[in-house]
Amino acid sequence: MPRLLRFGFGFGLGALLALGAPACKPKNQNDTKFDADAKSGPDGARSGARAVRTNFAVTDEVNYKGQDKTDWYQVDLRGKPGILTCFVKWDRLESDIGIDVFDELGKQLSASAPRGKGQKEKQLLTQIDKPGTYFVRVSAPTENDGTQYTFEARWDEPKPENIAIAIVEPPPEEPKPKPKKEPKEPAPEKPEAPSSSIQGRIVSAYRDGDNYVLQIDKGSAHGIKVGMTGSVLNGPAGEDVIDGGELKVFQIVGPNKSLARSPVKSLGKNNRVSITLK
């Protein structure tokens, strides 16, 4: 009898321990929320948006499973109201790319539709009523999406001729007495403006590569034609030509306006021109 009691007690205790022990659950990967932007870096948020120029292509990559889902871009739109065209082209045929446009306060203005079959590029058109700072979000929408892409924010920038540098003629300075110097060999004479010419004034000018583009206050009403040549004159009076001051008319804008190019290094305070009439 004592042996039977010891056996029964031992069996009962084991059963009780087995019944009272909590069940061991395998770790579920879904218990931890997956962050698709964990490795996106600063440009994964609007506050870290990458500033890009309009009409200039940039290349990057988004990947949902790679936790680099989102790229943000900042564009500064100048000029008049118009249409912002966000163009994106990607490499992987099986992937999709999403485009969204936001204003400077973070309000969403537009969003692209899902891609069509075989589609590897999109463009999203957004009406911009007030030029300024805007944000574009490029993303891999679902876990099946991930690819390299090229993005471009296309915008009608103001033309260079509308960005003018005003030249203000300073008041004439009083002549100063020149110190006497030993006589030197005479310098070569500068060419004088031809007599069969018309004088005009430079209204505005801006640098375009190695040349200046000059807006002149003479046009078709004064007989100015494309291809005519002339010179930038020195000072507020006289017929002397400044060094490198040759010019050539390349556009007639109206009766009292024409555009010319000149390789002159610097205009300084000179705003008079002479154009040869043919």
The CATH number that applies at residue 235 is: 2.40.10.340
Threshold 0.75, pTM exceeds? no
- Lowest mean pLDDT of 22-26, 79-83, 118-122, 265-269, name the range: 22-26
- Kindly state whether residue 180 falls inside one of the protein's structural domains: no
The region that residue 156 occupies, defined by phi over 0 for left and psi between -120 and 50 for alpha, beta otherwise, is beta
- Kindly state whether residue 8 falls inside one of the protein's structural domains: no
Higher-pLDDT residue of 168, 111: 111
User: Does the pLDDT at position 86 exceed 70?
Assistant: yes
Would you state the pLDDT for residue 187?
Answer: 61
Indicate if 140 and 231 belong to the same structural domain: no
Instruction: Look up the domain containing 104 and give its range.
Output: 42-158
Would you state the pLDDT for residue 12?
Answer: 47
Indicate if 46 and 149 belong to the same structural domain: yes
Indicate if 84 and 136 belong to the same structural domain: yes
- Give yes or no for a contact between 98 and 139, defined as CB atoms under 8 angstroms apart: yes
- Token pair, residue 130, equals 């007030």
* Domain CATH for 109: 2.60.120.380
- Kindly state whether residue 270 falls inside one of the protein's structural domains: yes
Indicate if 46 and 152 belong to the same structural domain: yes
Indicate if 63 and 122 belong to the same structural domain: yes
Top mean-pLDDT range of 3-17, 99-113, 211-225: 99-113
Indicate if 122 and 212 belong to the same structural domain: no
- Token pair, residue 49, equals 């948006």
- Kindly state whether residue 79 falls inside one of the protein's structural domains: yes
Rounded CA-CA distance 271/249 in Å is 16
Higher-pLDDT residue of 169, 229: 229
- Kindly state whether residue 12 falls inside one of the protein's structural domains: no
Top mean-pLDDT range of 95-99, 154-158, 267-271: 95-99
Final residue of a domain: which of 141, 158, 175?
158
- Token pair, residue 221, equals 């009403």
- Kindly state whether residue 94 falls inside one of the protein's structural domains: yes
Would you state the pLDDT for residue 5?
Answer: 40
**Tens-place pLDDT, residues 237-254:** 878 888 888 999 999 988
Beta bridge partners of 151: 58, 88
- Kindly state whether residue 78 falls inside one of the protein's structural domains: yes
- Kindly state whether residue 64 falls inside one of the protein's structural domains: yes
Overall number of domains in the chain: 2
Indicate if 202 and 146 belong to the same structural domain: no
Indicate if 140 and 210 belong to the same structural domain: no
Per the prediction, the chain carries an average pLDDT of 83
